[in-house]
Structure 1
């Protein structure tokens, strides 16, 4: 099994569920605070690989939901600069196993990458449940 360096927002419901799935598969999870990590532009950029810039962003971030940041209109350089200034914008989690990096927690992709014992949690682990509740209640 793998040691997974797991960059999260502490207290995030989905990040907690994601870590439990990794641990249940036998992986050692080393949780790190995404918001206080001392990111360098080059090291943060490596996590995103060939993903489109819009896929680098946490769509639940207040600045995106309020229209202050429009990921589709940003260059890579602008996106990284914004994320360094406001880490809540970063799509979570960021994960590292050895020299292999991943952003987000698509269960099938994670299973293909390092293996998951079970994928019984049918909840969308990419969308913040608090956002869903707020949307249903009309509170944005």
Structure 2
């Protein structure tokens, strides 16, 4: 079972999710958006599975710092372009296993997916 986790290394929620996986003895591959970036194709696939609204972090400082024009009239295409340009806009973490995708970290949800 290959578990991949996507996010930003310094993020506190990422640290909790990675610590949880390690405590459960789950091997995973970590992808750091700040180092590796993220493609529009990958974001489109995730959006098809969970919805672009779920992926876009509108409560963080990165979103608030965007121009008014960027924050208004969001569509899937516009949101994906913004997330490619500003990976901090992607909610963290995104965990994938086979075709399953989880956005955000909740220990009970992780336990069901990997248990």
TM normalised by structure 2 equals 0.78
CA distance 1:102–1:24, shift in 2 (3 Å): same
CA distance 1:40–1:52, shift in 2 (3 Å): closer
Bigger Cα displacement from structure 2, 80-89 vs 103-112: 103-112
Distance, in Å, in 2 between the alignment partners of 1:106 and 1:46 is 22
Distance, in Å, in 2 between the alignment partners of 1:85 and 1:67 is 11
Give 2:8's aligned residue. Answer: 9
* Correspondence 1:1-140 to 2 at 5 A: 2-66=1-65, 68=67, 69-70=70-71, 73-115=73-115
Give 1:133's aligned residue. Answer: none
User: RMSD value over aligned CA atoms?
Assistant: 2.3
- Structure with max Cα Rg: 1
TM normalised by structure 1 equals 0.66
Report SS of the residue matched to 2:47: coil
Query: For the Cα contact (< 8 Å) 1:53–1:74, is it kept in 2?
Result: no
Q: Work out the number of aligned pairs and report it.
A: 113
Provide structure 1 residue ranges, at least 5 long, that are not aligned to the other structure.
116-140
Provide structure 2 residue ranges, at least 5 long, that are not aligned to the other structure.
none
Tell me which of the two structures has the higher relative contact order, counting C-alpha pairs closer than 8 angstroms and 6 or more residues apart: 2
